[in-house]
Amino acid sequence: MEGLQIIAPKLDSYILPFTILVLLVLFIVQAKGTGKVGRMFSPVMVFWFATLAVLGLSILSRLLMCCWPSILLWVNMLFELGWKGFAIMGAVVLAITGAEALYADMGILA
């Protein structure tokens, strides 16, 4: 809901009521079983991850066209390091997502 303020500043006064409404609906549906919440959100999640995959592949294809040797060098380094390389990349991803979650929490509290 925070994104509505950026996309449509005129809807700023509706953000809090919409948020409360969404939370109420989620809590009411969740009380009848988390399976119903899963069925509600699964199409949205499939669309979200498919969109991320398409955007990621398009960006990756553009990167491979302009600077593919450097990208392949990094991928090769990961394979040379074996499981340690993937553990390092996993730690980096966890650090980034943790920082993003912290930033999101700070935005909610501000």
- CA gap 84, 9 in Å, rounded: 47
Enclosing domain of residue 54 = 33-109
Lowest mean pLDDT of 46-60, 79-93, 96-110, name the range.
96-110
88 occurs within a structural domain: yes
Predicted pLDDT at 27: 85
24 occurs within a structural domain: no
37 occurs within a structural domain: yes
Structure pTM?
0.45
User: Cβ distance 78 to 85 under 8 Å?
Assistant: yes
Predicted pLDDT at 107: 63
Helix ranges (DSSP H) in the chain: 2-7, 15-31, 34-81, 83-109
* CA end-to-end span of the chain: 15
Predicted pLDDT at 4: 77
Predicted pLDDT at 20: 92
pLDDT beyond 60 at 32: yes
15 occurs within a structural domain: no
16 occurs within a structural domain: no
User: Considering only CA atoms, which of 27, 89, 91, 52 is closest in space to residue 60?
Assistant: 52
17 occurs within a structural domain: no
pLDDT beyond 50 at 110: no
CA Rg value for the chain: 20
40 occurs within a structural domain: yes
